[in-house]
Amino acid sequence: MSLVRPLRLLLLGAPGSGKGTQTSRLLKQFPLIQSLSSGDILRSQIAAGTDVGKLASSYIKNGQLVPDATMVSLISNQLEQNSWLNKETSWLLDGFPRTVEQAAALNGVLESADANLNLVVELDVDQKVILERIEARWVHLPSGRVYNLDYNPPKVPYKDDLTGDPLTKREDDTAEVFQRRLDKYNQEIVPLKEFYDRRGILSKVSGNTSDIIYPKLSQLLLDEFGH
């Protein structure tokens, strides 16, 4: 089964809720979808030492959000470069928009291209479970691939499955910074969900592991965009 009309999806979910993992699985099942993760883009800007990276780094380290204006211009540029303003392209966003201000700005850009979001899915995971498993999260920074030593371990310990590069810990995955990210998320998510609910495109999938969530997410896409 494949998608019969273009999908323009936003994945919402607390930090550590598995947005990156669900994205990897979706790209495997639906190879025509393109994806963009704001966190991955920021981390690659930091690694490259750009001005945006330097600015972002100070916020990320402390578990705070990067200013809206910076995020909106960074992501808008990416949308254009990736031809995401073309109506036929199927894509998914992870991590942006994260505030109502960002959502309104994105809405303006996409609407004028007649290629607005057509689905927003909230990954609903118990936050106690998230806190327990974040300690076991290791990442491959260049690709954004995410592993969990307990649930989703790499084939070779501490090595990326595809490249064999060493895995690392994100510097904002410490208990203290992580709690701050979670608090910030809980504050922003209510008005953000309202924004999309009013537009009639908000759905939710619940479960405490990525293996439980993935089949529900995949089925939701097939029901609404497949044949």
Provide the binding-site residues for ligand ATP, judged by CB under 6 A. 15-16, 19-20, 38-39, 42, 59-60, 63-66, 71, 95-96, 98, 102, 172, 181
Backbone φ, ψ for residue 223 (5° rounding): -60, -40
CA–CA dist 142, 140 (Å, integer) = 6
Beta pairing class for 137-140 and 145-148? antiparallel
Output the smallest distance, CB 5 to Mg ion, in A.
27
How far CA 156 is from CA of 38, 57, 89, in Å, comes to 28, 30, 35
How far CA 199 is from CA of 30, 122, 188, in Å, comes to 26, 15, 18
Residue 207 or 225: the one with the smaller Cβ distance to Mg ion is 207
Output the smallest distance, CB 24 to ligand ATP, in A.
12
Candidate segments 14-22, 150-158, 163-171, 216-224, binder of Mg ion by CB under 5 A: 14-22
Would you mind telling me the total number of residues written for the chain in this entry? Answer: 227
Which of the listed partners (ligand ATP, Mg ion, none) does 10 bind, with a CB threshold of 5 to 8 Å by partner kind?
Answer: none
Q: What share of the chain is helix, strand, coil (3-state, %, to 5)?
A: 50, 15, 35
Output the smallest distance, CB 157 to ligand ATP, in A.
21
Q: Which of residues 37-76 bind Mg ion (CB under 5 A)?
A: 39
Output the smallest distance, CB 106 to ligand ATP, in A.
10
Output the smallest distance, CB 86 to ligand ATP, in A.
23
Residue 74 or 222: the one with the smaller Cβ distance to ligand ATP is 74
Residue 124 or 224: the one with the smaller Cβ distance to ligand ATP is 124
Which of the listed partners (Mg ion, ligand ATP, none) does 145 bind, with a CB threshold of 5 to 8 Å by partner kind?
Answer: none
- Reference 91, options 99, 102, 83; nearest CA is 83
**CB within 8 Å of 65: residues ≥ 6 apart:** 59, 71, 98, 99, 184, 188
Q: State yes or no: residue 20 binds Mg ion (CB under 5 A).
A: yes
Residue numbers at the binding site for Mg ion (CB under 5 A): 20, 39
